[in-house]
Amino acid sequence: MIRAFSIDDVRAAEEAVKRELEPGELMQRAALGLAEVARARSDEDGRVVVLAGSGDNGGDALYAAAHLARLDLNVVALLVGSRTHEEALAAATAEGVVPIEWRSGKVPAAAAEALAEANLVIDGIVGIGASPGLPKHLENLPDLFANDAYVIAVDLPSGVDPSGVVAADCLYADETVTFSLLKPCHLLPAGEAACGQLTVVDIGVPEPDSPAVVRYEASDATRLWPTPGAFDDKYSRGVLGVMTGSESYPGAAVLGVTAAVTTGVGMVRYIGPRRATDLVLGSVPEIVSGPGRVQAWLLGSGWDGHGGAPELVDELLDDILPIVLDAGALDLLDEPRSAPTLLTPHAGELKRLAQRLGLEHTQGVPGARVVADALGAHVLLKGATTLIVPPSSTRGPLVSQTDGPAWLATAGSGDVLAGMIGALVASGLGVTEAGALGVLLHGRAAHLANPGGPVRALDVARCAGRAVAEFL
């Protein structure tokens, strides 16, 4: 599992280590690690330009510049902050680094020339204490880089919101070198794309107890997957009740049920309109049609009303069983349930849901958070990066998954994902683990369905079993 930590926790962890070290030692460790990465990425005869801001990131970058100059690299330091880390600047200039000031206003000719000739640019402008966005005089900075310049960000690309929540103008790095601990922006949509390749340099700062953001990996699927034992039967493995599809959209039921069965649930009980029921039975004859004992419910995919048994909906919502609410079922809740609940909207559905509830935020992490808090439910926000946002009261981390190819943006893909997640909830996993492993499985099955090319949602559902076998 990949873990990222809140900015406050990162600062506290670093301060605890600093108290045990000589002054400046932690910065020296960071600068040396940064320099080693930069040296590996640089051309022997190329030019390195270090962008040094006012804070510790600027200090890291300048000390790294000194290390690189000591290795006979041609290094220029652009001093772009309102002030400069004086000790680091002195170390850099003592090794022959050429400083150029550009603290405000238009770019000096010498700075523009240096950037145009640079093969490697080290972005040490701002760090984790900065607000989103670039300083005004640097807003057009990327236009000054050579087309083939390799950009390394120190800790995070300048301009990125360290918390990973607010999208803002920023530099885009080819690689981000961070130190011991990942920060939320490294894993969340508002910042991750700007980070490029992520390299972690260990400078001896231990992980805090509680991450702010996590990402599940294949090893987590291996560890957590509800694998049956010799004495399990279909009931002990989990029975999923599915109420999806409609006369208008019967295919959603086929997709979700196929995915649930192939993911490995013990049994599916399907309730839906006649046309959808016939199609489901034709495609997945092992399901049982009609109500009965289940361990969890999946509702809403493909609804144009309340599915095939609207008279059961209120009863299900009042029940103590876990429930996954997708698509048309997202409008069912107005207040928290007493049982685990997972909502699976895409961005447009989240906006409509938040507006219906009269909430201030309607998009991204803030929108998902206020919906989760209002309904006491976990919100799985689907997208290129899929997020699982728990209610604040749980104090649980956000989950951020980027497992699937872009080809998954296709009709029916969400129905398949809902079926996979429903199967895992019925098998006994909590909604967070089921959601995360469902997204992980969804992405892996898509890669198997047609590696590198377009995929059908039904093919993704049919590849779920092979993907599970790979995990195990």
Asked if residue 127 belongs to a known ligand binding site, the reply is yes
CA distance 366 to 329: 22
Asked if residue 412 belongs to a known ligand binding site, the reply is no
Asked if residue 130 belongs to a known ligand binding site, the reply is yes
The amino acid sitting at 25 is E
Asked if residue 287 belongs to a known ligand binding site, the reply is no
DSSP string, 403-444: -S-GGG-STTHHHHHHHHHHHHHHTT--HHHHHHHHHHHHHH
Asked if residue 291 belongs to a known ligand binding site, the reply is no
User: Would strands 120-124 and 197-201 be described as parallel, antiparallel, or unpaired?
Assistant: unpaired
Residue partners of 382: CB distance under 8 A and separation at least 6: 344, 345, 346, 347, 414, 417
Asked if residue 137 belongs to a known ligand binding site, the reply is no
Asked if residue 132 belongs to a known ligand binding site, the reply is yes
Asked if residue 252 belongs to a known ligand binding site, the reply is yes
Asked if residue 278 belongs to a known ligand binding site, the reply is no
CA distance 196 to 339: 40
**Could you tell me if 405 and 447 are in contact, meaning their C-beta atoms sit under 8 angstroms apart?**
yes
Q: At what angle do helices 251-263 and 274-283 cross, to 10 degrees?
A: 40
**Could you tell me if 340 and 322 are in contact, meaning their C-beta atoms sit under 8 angstroms apart?**
yes
Asked if residue 236 belongs to a known ligand binding site, the reply is no
Asked if residue 94 belongs to a known ligand binding site, the reply is no
Asked if residue 351 belongs to a known ligand binding site, the reply is no
- Three-state secondary structure call for residue 62: helix
Asked if residue 155 belongs to a known ligand binding site, the reply is yes
CA distance 401 to 375: 23
Asked if residue 55 belongs to a known ligand binding site, the reply is no
The sign of the torsion formed by the CA atoms of 96, 63, 145, 131 equals: negative
Asked if residue 266 belongs to a known ligand binding site, the reply is no
Asked if residue 415 belongs to a known ligand binding site, the reply is yes
Asked if residue 57 belongs to a known ligand binding site, the reply is yes
Asked if residue 206 belongs to a known ligand binding site, the reply is no
Asked if residue 131 belongs to a known ligand binding site, the reply is yes
Asked if residue 430 belongs to a known ligand binding site, the reply is no
Rounded to 5 degrees, φ, ψ at 201 are -100, 125
DSSP 131: P
Asked if residue 148 belongs to a known ligand binding site, the reply is no
Asked if residue 331 belongs to a known ligand binding site, the reply is no
Asked if residue 56 belongs to a known ligand binding site, the reply is yes
Strands (E), 133-282: 150-154, 175-179, 197-201, 213-215, 239-243, 267-270
Annotated binding site for (6S)-NADPHX: 56-60, 127-133, 155, 252, 302, 346, 415
In the annotated binding site for AMP, the residues are 382-386, 414
Q: Which segments are annotated as binding site for K(+)?
A: 57, 123, 158
Binding residues: 56-60, 123, 127-133, 155, 158, 252, 302, 346, 382-386, 414-415
